[in-house]
Amino acid sequence: MKQASSDSTLYWPPCLPNDLSVRIGCIGAGFIMADCHLVAYRNVGLNPVAIASRTFETAATVADRHGISRVYRSCQELLDDPSIEVVDIAVPPDQQFGVISEVVKRKHIRGILAQKPLGINYQQARDIVRLCSDAGKVLCVNQNMRYDQSVRACKQLLNRGVMGQPVLATIDMRAIPHWMPWQERQGWVTLRIMSIHHLDTFRYWLGEPERIFASIRPDPRTEKKFSHQDGICLYILEFENGARASSWDDVWTGPAQEGSGSDIGIQWRMEGTHGLARGTIGWPDYPNPTPSTLEYTTVDSPSWTAGDWNEVWFPDAFLGPMAELLCSLETGQPANLDGSDNLKTMALVEAAYVSAQEHRAVELKEILG
């Protein structure tokens, strides 16, 4: 079958708040903040006004690059600035609880955007959500893959009903991420770092699964650097309505860095009773701006139709979670990516660890209680 047309209506940009002037304080000045968050925010006119990081010089460099007027020597100094309304936190997960514990003490701060994973495990994530709720702070989590353009377009197809009843969703990731030094402290490689994106995407597409079965093994390359269990991760999700989802999260991909040829990429597929959609994720080509792709076919329209956009996951999709937070503050309506919703993704990650360790399917209610 040949591609017959493109469908520009599948591009689904984030809804922006009416007030773009809300003053954002940024904690952290690493790659995610400097090359993703702040680029996406500036592109649409959001208002980051202050930054603090572990290293003052790094924060100052990022501030100069993005036109941020205030650089603080500590997150406490930034949080004490009474003009800050929202805090964007981009620190390692084992530091999030401490930072958020400080944020909730400041009455003038109304909203918090935190990175995934939300803390070091499900229990800590639950404690963070409770902290924010008790303090009356709106918490959103940066599950930005929901705003990858092809992932969001697939959700549009599902919402429109053109796919019929979902039957099977799959993600096949063959990519070698750039691991961060803090991961060695945690002993994590894939489940809480990469798989968390895919597990959250399956929830976004299909709703809440009943159970998960996971099998994991170390990544031979990373194993030489630090001990871990969750290198290559394979898992299956079962849903009450009969739908199934599965992902192969392979950060080894063969000896591509050891001298062999490489075959790197991320592909996904959604099969329904009435249609089929398939796509690719452009992230492994970063820093080359490679948009993710989607094409679909249905029993009523068998020719392939492609989505049409120029935006890319890194950095454009990073606008979505902050936009949700600002809109939630403006309207009083819960965000799709609020902390309570993210607890279900964190529970799914936790269940994957339990499943792999105990070699059995784990129901989500075992973790959620």
Q: For the residues of 330-352, what is the DSSP string, one character each? A: HH-PPPTTBHHHHHHHHHHHHHH
Burial of 166 (0-12, 13-18, 19+ CB in 10 A): buried
- 123: its two tokens: 């229990």
Dump pLDDT digits (tens) for 219-236.
999 999 999 999 999 999
Give pTM, 2 decimals: 0.97
Q: What share of the chain has pLDDT > 90, as a percent?
A: 96
Q: Identify the bridge partners of residue 280 per DSSP, sorted by sequence position.
A: 267, 293
pLDDT at 3 over 60: no
- C-alpha separations of 121 from 14, 192, 309 in Å: 29, 9, 36
- Amino acid (1-letter code) at residue 175: A
pLDDT-derived band of residue 200, with 50, 70 and 90 as boundaries?
very high
Q: For 297, list phi and psi in degrees, rounded to 5.
A: -145, 150
Tally of CA atoms within 13 A in the half-sphere of 245 that contains its CB:
25
Sign of CA dihedral 50, 325, 7, 302: positive
Domains and CATH numbers, the chain: 13-144 (3.40.50.720), 149-312+342-368 (3.30.360.10)
Mean pLDDT of 170-185: 94
- Amino acid (1-letter code) at residue 234: L
pLDDT-derived band of residue 1, with 50, 70 and 90 as boundaries?
very low
Angle at 10 between CA 318 and CA 239, to 5 degrees: 80
pLDDT at 367 over 50: yes
Report d(CA 236, CA 252) in Å as an integer.
20
- Residue 2's pLDDT is 53
